[in-house]
Chain A
Amino acid sequence: MRRARTAIAAALGLLLLAGPAEAGDAAAFQALVKAAQQEGSVVLDGPPLDKVREAVTRQFAKTYGITVTYISSGGPKSAPRIRAERAAERYLLDVFVTGADTAIFTVVPSGWVDPIEPALIDPLATDPARWRDGHLWFADPGHEMLRLTAYVTPVVAVNSKLVKPGEVGRFTDLLDPKWRGKIIAKDPTVTGTSGSLISYLYLTFGGDYVAKLYKEQKPFISRNSRQASQALANGNYPIWLGADMHETLHFRQLGYPVAFVFPSDGPRIVSGGWGFVGLMNKAPHPNAAKLLVNWLAGPEGAATYAKAAEFVSLRTDIDQDWAEDFTKLKPGETYLDTYDYKFITEQRDAAFQRVQKLLGL
């Protein structure tokens, strides 16, 4: 019953955030390119990922001859600085690419961005046929930030030498006493992806399940993905709950016996990484900023960003063969989109707070 509720919530959320079919304006876009080139530079606050920094700055400069000043603090570290700057009426940032929490709890309610939809004028960026499910995706009901990415993220990884196939086929299998002290888990006190996972478990299986999992099963708590993935790969802990996909894949490439498990008693989880882009208002380079968001929403920018960040793009017209097949959304499958606005604002946070009280944190 709980699973059905979350699936319905996810579907409703998708409908809420679907954008209308808008056509771009090619002539206006060309004028925008010229105006942006006159400005000559743009300031982007983006993910703290070197590959993204290098790829985006290089490719955008190559295509349009505009320099990108890239700030890579990450949303939670950028937000205090941006807030203080704007309170002092210093407007130094043009474009902000960030994750769900910062976008929904900080950027949008603080009024830092104007609705992005009117700024998207590149016909290649706005053609709905080139986006998943035939529409543009947005972070919020007001369409103030555009969503660029969505991918299935596995949350359970196992050491396949220590865990037989099917031995952890359901989330409820994690409560088996034989796994006591043998699970490495994400810190349940941290928001973001950890918060989403703990909320997902609470909403899907209830408070008793969460209490048994985190108290009776005595998991080893780690905030460090490298530490956790190494412990899994070495066989110190056969199961990793809240596995970091990229770190686990890294160890798999090194030949370690690690594999992902998709438990059958809960919907697969969709995430977005640093997948929201916003156009800051009172931007110092307004035209270059608009051009950049159009580029990120367009095929070249979306492909550049997705491949560098290793997040599957919501565009359907770009090459994404580099991505693992299990990360791509399949038609007809049921997912819980942890980047859905309703899920985050109405369910996740409340569930997270209840879990903190439940676990005495």
Chain B
Amino acid sequence: MVTYSAAQRSSQAPFAPQLTALLRCLPVILISIVALAPVAIILVSSFRLSLPGQPTKWGFDGWIAAFSSPSIWDAIANTFILAAMRVPISVVIGCLLAWLLIRTNLRWRRHIEFLFWIAFFLPTLPMAMAWALLLDPHSGWVNLALMKLLGLEEAPFNIFSYLGITWVHMTATTVPVMVILLGPAFRGLDPAMEESARMSGASRLESLRLITLPLVTPALMVAAVAGFIRSLEAFEVELYLGVPAGIRVYSTKIQELAVWEPPRYAPSMAMSVPFVALLFLLAILYQRFLATRSFTTVSGKGSASPPIDLGAWRWPATILCGAVAALAVLVPTATLLFGSFMEVFGVTRADGSFLFTLSHWRAVLHDSLFASSVVNTLEIGLGTAVLAVLIYSTIAYIILRSRLGGRKFLGLVTWLPWAFPGILLSLSFLWLFLGTPVLNLLYGSLASLVLAMLFKEMPVGVNLMRSGLLQIAVELEEAGKMSGADWWQTYRMVLLPLLAPTAITVATLAFISCVKDISTMILLSTPDTRPLSLLVLDYTSNGSIENGAVVGVISAALAVGVALLGRRIGSRFARS
């Protein structure tokens, strides 16, 4: 046997260990570069005072302009007030709803859960408009009815207020999203732990508080952080309901600067940078929290178990959950559907009569743009959904289960897409695609939109996958390897099936985001690649709100179809 001394080994291949280490880190490096590129563009652009195509000029004027505006600090305060109002409440309500829907014997729980998926899908701005029709302090139908019924002199509700904005967000997005994000976590729990708690004498509430909630903490934290960050960048509802009440928020200020003529990119980019810092901080805290605990709940043991019996609370809980779902879904969808057949959306004739018409439906269905938009949407959605599962699960695996260098940094970097308001992300992607060799070949294609959406959905997708992986015992993977399977076989035959409920959620969310998204795709889309969401925007921004309502109804139907399909596939995996 020939042996070599350390010096001999070193002299034979002096760079081999470094090269090997570098190659092992390559996936982390590549993914980090992709995630950091838009961030770098935005950061650098905050110091660039000239516009693209002009001689370059650098300076701090953008930062000074951004933070010396008198109204900016009011906008920042409003942003945090609104986030603080709705996120904690939504997390609590969402958690309770998810537990009731997934873990108990609530009546019609699958149908009610499904309604939350539909609520998540519905376009936000039309829902704000629908609620304004009902709760406008002067002409809202609910207000008028209550004033007549109760003999009130003033309307009891005012949608143009902090509470109004919070209400619309909670019913339209935040609570449904919490239910969707927390559902897979509750579904993946090993019921044996709850059974053990009950056998030891714990009540249902004690079992929920001491066993269930701690185990779903990763998903809860993802949901809370997601809700908080998204509320910081929200602006459609704030624009519609806040501006009349003098409530301006951070994201509306950023957007105003970006679409100024000529555009003021430097200050708008400068305003985004603190978001990045805040997001990084939240991500670091989240990672540290996860590192100190174990959340394994899916093990090699069987997990079939009857749902928790609510006893006398069954029907009251069903009515409560059903009422929340109805508020989130039935009110806005009924308004959208009704409005799509009205001569003027939400408006009667002066004599109070309605004029219903099919003309808007005919106009949309005969519009040559409509068919191409549907096809584009399906292609973008399917492409994003499939790639989302593959890419996000791989990233999540690298972060949690690999020993690759830089994986913790990768975990932080995956949160970054949320730090930017959509219009700035869209702008940075536009510059990235046009200014980068190879990528510029994709400009104007559906592939560019798929890549942009994959980037945008990375925070939710990767962290959902992480939550799912955290619940799977490492021993299952080790058992696969001990049986002779290589990494890919173990991943495909052991992990992916166990991750299936999470994967389906991620795929469905990714698809529906593509159907809904406007701000990320708006600058990348061309007439050939325009999806349905941008068609809605085109219609509503040119005053054809009725046509926008028609496309909104069709988009909702598409999402319902996708959600049904996702549910069917998910049920099959749950049973197996």
- Chain A residues engaging chain B, CB cutoff 8 angstroms: 47-50, 69-77, 79-81, 83-88, 90, 92, 101-102, 105-106, 109-110, 187, 189-192, 220-227, 230-231, 233-234, 236-237, 246-247, 250-251, 254-257, 360-361
Contact = CB atoms under 8 A, between A and B. Distances in A.
A221 B244 contact: yes
A237 B443 CA distance: 47
B563 interface: no
Interface stretch (B131-139, B315-323, B447-455, B477-485): B131-139
B243 A187 contact: yes
A77 B261 CA distance: 10
Contact of B350 (A69, A73, A227, A257): A257
Interface string B353-364: 000000000010
Contact of A84 (B259, B431, B544): B431
B176 to A, nearest CB: 25
A189 B443 CA distance: 34
Given A80-B263, A83-B52, A246-B543, A90 B434 contact: yes
Contact of A81 (B244, B344, B523): B523
A236 B138 contact: yes
B263 A79 contact: yes
Lowest 8 A-B CB distances belong to which pairs?
A: A255-B350, A236-B138, A88-B434, A87-B52, A101-B261, A87-B53, A48-B542, A76-B259
A197 B427 CA distance: 30
B321 to A, nearest CB: 33
B539 A254 contact: no
5 contacts: A84-B523, A90-B434, A227-B240, A236-B136, A255-B349
Contacts of B328: none
B206 interface: no
Interface string B232-248: 00000001100110100
B345 interface: yes
B173 to A, nearest CB: 20
Given A223-B243, A360-B71, A71 B527 contact: yes
Given A50-B547, A83-B52, A231-B138, 14 more contacts: A50-B538, A50-B539, A50-B544, A73-B522, A77-B259, A84-B435, A102-B261, A220-B244, A222-B243, A227-B129, A227-B132, A233-B347, A234-B138, A236-B136
B367 interface: yes
B434 A84 contact: yes
A106 B544 CA distance: 27
B262 A106 contact: yes
Q: Which residue, of A81, A101, A191, A257, has the highest number of chain B Cβ atoms within 10 A?
A: A81
B42 to A, nearest CB: 14
B18 interface: no
A77 B522 contact: yes
Contacts of B259: 76-77
B331 interface: no
Nearest to B440: A88
Contacts of B547: 50
B526 A83 contact: no
A226 B256 contact: no
Contact of B351 (A77, A83, A255): A255
B421 to A, nearest CB: 14
A76 B261 contact: yes
Contacts of B363: 50
B430 interface: yes
A83 B53 contact: yes
Given A50-B547, A88-B440, A257-B350, A72 B431 contact: no
A345 to B, nearest CB: 12
B541 interface: yes
B302 interface: no
A224 B240 contact: yes
B236 to A, nearest CB: 11
B154 to A, nearest CB: 13
B244 A222 contact: yes
B153 to A, nearest CB: 16
